Each structure stands twice: as structure tokens, then as C-alpha cells.
Structure 1
Amino acid sequence: MKKIAVLLLLVLAVSFQVHTETTYIDGFRGLPWGTSRADIIEREGPPLLIDGNDMMYTGLVAKRQARILYELLNGKLVSGTYSFTNEYINKNLYIDDFKDLKIRLIKKYGEPALNNIEWSNNLYKDNPSEWGKAISSGHLAYYAEWSLNETRIILSLHGRNDDITLMLIYVAKEQEKALLNNIFGNTDQDEGL
């Protein structure tokens, strides 16, 4: 009888652990894809800015200041972006932020499907203390991507003209093509390429 009770407790403990490790919602900030503008506003409050299909808020994300952007298509949530706004004199601190965010995402979603560091110009490649400068010059970019059931998550660090952008983007996979068509026009047309 003791063996059965111990076995039952062990099974319950394992199932509880599995359940708690996978309790995330595909979507953005706990809202599922397809959430209406009204439901987002009910949850987040009035946005700082509404620009067409976009609504912007600000707040702390992973202990960093960020613009929080909700993008809607046909009145439904299809994408969300954190654009981090911390500014550093030491540009290598942006790399530290990228690495910290990546670690947090790995803990939540597992290893990224893509994980790239791309050099377009090797001028600073042999001098890691200048890699932040390389990013701000457009010579270096960091990129990681996760693919969930319904969501693509992209963490990106890039720059140019002495500016650096650190972004975390969540996109509804089902709406990616429609979203791109909305931004860039019809991407189905063959343009002879």
C-alpha cells in the first residue's frame, strides 16, 4: 500500500511539474492572437498613442524601459513588439542586454531555432571591446528566433548611423503573410526575381 501511495505522489508531482512548465499562451503579454482593440485597452488601459492599426504603451520589461507596441490587422491582435529604450554610453551594454533577454527567453521557451551573430564588416571583429561600436555602425547584428505553435518570437540587436535598436517581436504565424502584405504591399506577385 505504501508503494502505491508513493508511486501516486510521484506521478502527481511529475504531472504538476510538466503542467507548470508549459503554461504560456501563444500571443503577446498574456493575450491570445486575435484579441480585439477594446479587450487590449481594457487590460492595458488607454494607449499613449494610436496610429492606424498600432497602439503604443510604455513600461518596464525584464527590468528595462520599453515601448510596447500592439499591432492589429482587421481589428485583431497579430503582432506585439518591445522596443527597448535604455541608452548607454558604453555601447557594449546593449550586447549584455541582448544576452540577458536571450537567457530569459531560453528559460521560458527553450533553445532558439535560429541564433546568429552576423558581421557585414570585420573592422572591429578582433576587438570585442568595440563590438558595441560595430553594432552602432551597422557592422554587427545579433539575432535569435523561437518558433512556438502559433507564435514566432524574434530578438534582434542591430544598428546604423550611431544608433542601436534592441527589439523583441512576437508575431502570429497564421497572420505573418497578411501582416507583410499590409506593410509592404502584395508579396505574392512575381516581380521577375
Structure 2
Amino acid sequence: MRKAIGLVVFGCAVLAVSQAGELVSPLSSPPDFRQAAWGMTQAEVLATEAAQPSEIRESSGEIIVRYDSIQLGGLACRVVYIFADDKLVRAKYVFDAEHREPNDFIRDYRAIEPLLHDMYGKPVSERAFWSDDSLQDEPKSYLEQDRASATDILPSDQFAGPSIAAGHLKLYTRWRGDRTKISHGLTGENSRITHQIEFLSVELERLENDVRGASRN
């Protein structure tokens, strides 16, 4: 197995420099994450950073590198970098908040949205996906019309957070540029909510799919 040695901390909005460190826009030209670009080897990425990773592991034929103790928009998070065939193909922020009230995750989601909108402009989609209405007062057919956008989901809706935690509701805002796809998501399952921003190389998406597919054969 190829030895994993890479780490890079990436950013997503220059407006958040004071809160999240050195950040860059990855949509049109490199660097894509701090001083790293899509397709860099782990060694090349490592050379851009002084810090050491918190974890390096292999999963589905890829190398996963995690770096802890990052701040974005005033929220604590982890940075995860994914290498396929020794090329940087994907990375994401995974927010670390532990809230007793599920609706507080919606507040976090809405706090991060302006940073992404200010950097990347109008998203290609803003969706609230309803798969189950059992925790709501209204039927699914109504929710899919009246609350079809991520911006329609408010922390003041007492049932929204529990619906996300149960996996009944997923929020996504997405952007796309020449080099990078971005997905800001709030999802849940088994009473656990995941809030993350994922960045994906447009050019290397097929490579990652091929590597993951080969690992299953």
C-alpha cells in the first residue's frame, strides 16, 4: 500500500480570513485549497503545510487525511482530504458542534451560508429534500412545495431539527465552477446530524470513482 503522507488545510471564503486562517477561492484557478491544487501528490501537499495530520487511513482504495482544530465562521471543524491514486481529488470541512437541541444545527448551517454566498455568488441549487413527513404537521406534498429550499428551513420550526436528525429532511446548497463542485449539506441519521462542506475536483471526479470501484472488485 502506498504510504500516506499528505495534509492540506483548505478554505472557502476570503471574508472569513480572520476566523478561519488563509482561505482561497477554488472555483476558477489554482490554488484550490490554501497553497494546494487538485491533482497534487500527498508529498506536494505536505510541503505546503507545517502542521501534522491528526489521522491518516485508507478507505475504499483512497487515502483519507484528517486535520483537527480548525475554525470556519466561528465554528469548530475538522478538515478531511481525500487522495485517489496519489492525487488530491476531494476535501471537506466537517463541523464538530455537539448540540442538545437539533435546531441549533440549522443555526450553524445558516451562519455558514453567507460566507459561501459572498465568495461564490448565487448557487446552482438550494434544496430541502423531504423523504418523510411523520414528524411534521403538514403532509409531504405540502412540504415539497412550501419548504422546498434550504433557505425555507428555519431554526424556529420546532420540528425541522428532529426531522433532519431522523433522516427525514436533508438540506443542500451547491455551487459549480470550472474546477470545483461545492456542496454545503446538513443531513442526519439515527439521531446524529452531520454538517459539512465538500469540495470536489471536476476533472478528477471520474478518477476517484474508478479507484473506489476497483477497490470493491
TM-score (norm 2): 0.70
What is the one-letter code of the residue matched to 1:88?
A: H
Q: 1:105 and 1:30, CA in 2 relative to 1: closer, same or farther beyond 3 A?
A: farther
Aligned residue for 1:72, secondary structure, equals: strand
* Alignment match of 1:78 (pick from 71, 89, 99): 89
Q: 1:184 and 1:89, CA in 2 relative to 1: closer, same or farther beyond 3 A?
A: farther
For the residues of structure 1 that align with 2:52 and 2:42, how far apart are their CA atoms? 10
Kindly provide the CA deviation profile for residues 69-100 of structure 1, in whole angstroms up to 9, marking residues without a partner as x.
11112212111111111111111111111122
1:33 aligns with 2:24: no
2:193 alignment counterpart: 164
1:137 alignment counterpart: 166
Kindly provide the CA deviation profile for residues 81-132 of structure 1, in whole angstroms up to 9, marking residues without a partner as x.
1111111111111111112212210100001101100111112334811211
Q: Which has the higher contact order (CA 8 A, sep 6+)?
A: 2
For the residues of structure 1 that align with 2:200 and 2:187, how far apart are their CA atoms? 19
Post-superposition offset of 1:67: 1.5
Q: 1:29 and 1:119, CA in 2 relative to 1: closer, same or farther beyond 3 A?
A: farther
For the residues of structure 2 that align with 1:61 and 1:184, how far apart are their CA atoms? 33
**Seq. identity, %:** 26
* Kept after mapping to 2: 8 A contact 1:28/1:79: no
Gaps of 5+ in 2: 1-23, 139-156
Q: 1:97 and 1:177, CA in 2 relative to 1: closer, same or farther beyond 3 A?
A: same
1:96 aligns with 2:107: yes
Post-superposition offset of 1:30: 4.6
Gaps of 5+ in 1: 1-22, 187-193
What is the one-letter code of the residue matched to 1:55?
A: V
Post-superposition offset of 1:60: 1.5
1:151 alignment counterpart: 180
2:209 alignment counterpart: 180
2:54 alignment counterpart: 48
1:24 alignment counterpart: 25
1:113 alignment counterpart: 124
Q: Which one has a larger percent helix, Structure 1 or Structure 2?
A: 1
Q: 1:49 and 1:31, CA in 2 relative to 1: closer, same or farther beyond 3 A?
A: same
Q: 1:125 and 1:104, CA in 2 relative to 1: closer, same or farther beyond 3 A?
A: farther
What is the one-letter code of the residue matched to 2:65?
A: M
* Kept after mapping to 2: 8 A contact 1:84/1:166: yes
Q: 1:110 and 1:132, CA in 2 relative to 1: closer, same or farther beyond 3 A?
A: same
